[in-house]
Copies of this chain bind each other. A is one copy, B any other.
Amino acid sequence: MKLRPEQQAEIDALRSQSFQTRRATVPALEEILYKPLPVLDHGFVRVIDYMGDDSAIVQAARVSYGRGTKRVRQDAGLIRYLMRNWHTTPFEMCEIKYHVKLPIFVARQWIRHRTANVNEYSARYSILDREFYVPAPEHLAAQSKSNRQGRGEVLTGDEAASVMRLLQEDASRAYDHYEDMLNEDTEGNVLDAGRSGLARELARMNLSLNFYTQWYWKVDLHNLMHFLWLRSDDHAQYEIRAYAKTMLQTLKLWLPLTHDAFMDYRIGAKPLSSKGWAVVRKMIAGERVDFKSSGMSRAEWRELKQALNPDDSED
């Protein structure tokens, strides 16, 4: 990730400012405020603003006149209680705003989370940068054999080289032709005075889905956690997971008590179906249960065994 000097200067200016406020403030998050945290080859996540701290959740849960806080230990206990029992409204009382630079195909998955506010860079109005995503060699994976929706082995040798070359060349050429059709370069210089230039809203359609876009994305804590739960999961596509993992770090800085409860009751938790509980009860009673007697589908049985023996490597 590289910033242009004027972008860096704007960020530095923001980071050097300091105001007095009566609002709940989190020094650990202030530390990284406005700073671009790199993701993938050209992307980033920047925390732009936030509202609330761990106590704000407690305060809202108690609808209190003051901080709502008793002692840190009691706050932690209440937050764990709320998380365990799916009391979601107190978590909606915190809010965070990010500036994100991300490939368009990642943006298309991300935007499916509807309960958020988003303002995207407009390619009807402005010209996109010459920046596109190309996977690092270790992420250039083949289609999974077992999962129609996932990745398998990493590609190597000629096949890897060929894929890399195609991705690079096609995106480069697409951008060259984008500028050519616009009759304008990124700085706004007209290329050929004898031509009109295609409308921006049309020219952009020549760009491929690995080009980077950017947006402001603002979300409440409850919906942020739902996003992180789904997108930091192993079933999520690697590229969006990379963003989720980085944002999970910002959650830890922002709300350490909530982060702990979230790791235990969401990220580290797995639901157990009614059939699953029946199997587990028998196993604890010392009965032998196999796939056939479990009454489960093959996929469910595999998932249950994996949850019970997380160290067994199979995939």
Contact = CB atoms under 8 A, between A and B. Distances in A.
Contacts of A103: 205
Nearest to A139: B202
Contacts of A142: 196-199
Interface in A67-83: 67, 77, 80-81
A52 interface: yes
A246 interface: no
Copies in the complex: 4
A131 to B, nearest CB: 13
A41 B68 CA distance: 25
Contacts of A15: 22
A60 B174 CA distance: 28
A125 to B, nearest CB: 5
Interface of A: 3, 7, 9-11, 13-15, 17-25, 30, 33-34, 49-52, 56, 59-61, 63-67, 77, 80-81, 84-86, 89-90, 92-93, 95, 97, 99, 103-105, 107-108, 111-112, 114-115, 117-122, 124-125, 133, 135, 140-144, 148-153, 155, 159, 162-163, 166-167, 170-171, 173-174, 177, 180-182, 195-202, 204-210, 214-216, 218, 220, 230, 235, 237, 263-265, 267-277, 280-281, 283-284, 286, 297, 299-300, 307-309
